[in-house]
Amino acid sequence: MRTCDENIKKSASKSRSRSEGLNLNAASGLNLAPQAVLKSAQSGTGEQIYFSNFSAIDWRTVQVAVFRANKKALKIVRDIDFTGIDALVGLESQKSALIKNTDAFLRSRSANHALLWGESGCGKSSLAKAIFSKFIPQDLKIIEIGRDDLGYLVDIIDAIRETNFKFIIFCDDLSFELGESGYKHLKPLLEGSLERAPRNVLMYATSNRRHIVGECASDNDAAQISRGELHLSDAANERISLSERFGLQLSFYGGSMQEYLGIVDTYFAAAQGMSAAEFRLSFAANLDELHAKAREFAMLRASRSGRAAKQFFLSFGEEFFANLKGGGR
C-alpha cells in the first residue's frame, strides 16, 4: 500500500509531465502557435471554428467557445446544449442564488466566482448549463475549459479582458489530486496578481470536492492547538484557500424520494411536450405503476439523484409510452 507521501510524489511527477507537454514558457505564455488562425479547421458551411489566436474571435457573433488542447485553440460552439432552468427540480435555493449572482454580473454590479460542489449526479452541471441557457440571450459569453488546460487561462483572459462583453469561464469537474499544482493557474483570475483581476470575467466551476484539492490525513499532523484554538498546517491552509476564493459556494446533495419522482415526471412530461403537472394529470391512471418502477430503479442504484432519474427515463421511457399506445390509457 502506498503512503500518502508516495502518492504525492507520483502525482507531482504526472503534473510535471503534463506541464512539459504544454510547452510552458514563462516569457511568452502558452499561446505559442505561429499561425494566427487554424485556417484548415472549418465547419461544413465553410465557417471558421478553431482559433489559435484567441483575440481573433468576433464575439459579436459567438456565444459559446470551448478550449481544445490538442489544437491549442478555442473552438466555436454552434450546437449548444440548452437546458431549461424550470426543468430542474429540488434546486430552488441554488437556482435563486446563481440567477441573482449572474444577473448582478451582467448589470456590472458586485458578483462572485461560483463553486458548485457536492454529490455526483445531483444537478451541478445541469444547473450551470441552465443558467447559461437563461442568460446567453442577454449577451453572456461562455468559455469552457478543462482542468488540465488551466495553464492556457492567462492567455484567454488577456484576449478577452478589454472587450465589451461579459464572460463566464466554466470548468466542469474541477478537482486536483495530491501533488498536482495546476490549480495555481486559477489565481490570476480569482484574485489577480500585480495586474487586477478582469472585471468582465467570472469563473463558475463544479466539483465533487468541497475544497477542490485532495486532502491527506498527514496534512493534519502539523496542526497545533494554541489556547484552545486549532491552527491548521500550511498544507491544509493552502488547499482550503483555493475554494475560499470562490465567493459563492453552493452545495448539492441527493434529494428525497419525492424530489426524485418529481424529476422522473419532468423527463417523461418533456417527452410529451407537457409540464410535469400536465403529465401527472394526463397519465394519472399509470402514475403509480411508473413511480413504483422508478423507486425500484433508484434502490437498485442506491441513488435518488437527477442523473438516476434521467437514466430511468432513458431505460423505460420508450417502453412506457409504447405500452400505452398498445393498450390505451
- pLDDT of 177: 63
Assess contact for 168 and 204: CB atoms under 8 A: yes
pLDDT for the residue numbered 121: 83
Q: CA nearest 58: which of 146, 133, 154, 159?
A: 159
User: What confidence tens digit (pLDDT) does each residue in 153-174 have?
Assistant: 999 999 999 999 999 999 998 8
Going by C-beta distance under 8 Å and a sequence separation of 6 or more, which residues neighbour residue 139? 106, 165, 166
Quote the pLDDT of residue 157.
Answer: 93
pLDDT at 241: 66
Sheet strands (E) in the chain: 50-51, 64-68, 73-77, 114-118, 140-144, 166-171, 201-207, 224-226, 229-231, 248-252
Please name the amino acid found at residue 7: N
Q: Starting from the edge strand earliest in sequence, which strands make up the sheet with 140-144, in order?
A: 50-51, 73-77, 64-68, 140-144, 166-171, 201-207, 114-118, 248-252
Each domain of the chain, given as residue ranges in start order, spans 4-77, 85-252, 257-327
- Tell me how far apart the alpha carbons of residues 33 and 73 are, in angstroms, rounded to a whole number: 9
* Structure confidence at residue 194 (pLDDT): 80
pLDDT of residue 135: 97
Q: Comparing C-alpha atoms, which of 267, 250, 281 is closest to residue 310? A: 267
- Report the alpha-carbon distance of residue 157 to residue 151 in Å, rounded: 11
| Secondary structure of residue 35 in the 3-state scheme | coil
Half-sphere exposure of 222 (CA within 13 A, CB side): 9
Q: Are 136 and 63 in contact (CB under 8 A)?
A: yes
Question: pTM for the whole thing?
Answer: 0.73
Residue 256: per-residue pLDDT:
87
Strands (E), 212-318: 224-226, 229-231, 248-252
Superfamily of domain 85-252: P-loop containing nucleotide triphosphate hydrolases (3.40.50.300)
Q: How far is 70 from 54, CA to CA, in rounded Å?
A: 15
pLDDT of the chain along its 329 residues, tens only?
Answer: 444 445 444 444 444 444 443 333 333 233 333 233 333 344 455 678 999 999 999 999 999 999 999 999 999 999 998 888 887 877 899 999 999 999 999 999 999 999 999 888 888 999 999 999 999 999 999 999 998 898 899 999 999 999 999 999 999 988 766 666 666 777 767 776 788 889 999 999 998 877 666 555 555 555 555 555 544 445 555 666 666 788 999 998 878 899 899 999 999 998 999 989 999 999 999 999 999 999 999 999 888 888 899 999 999 999 999 988 865 55
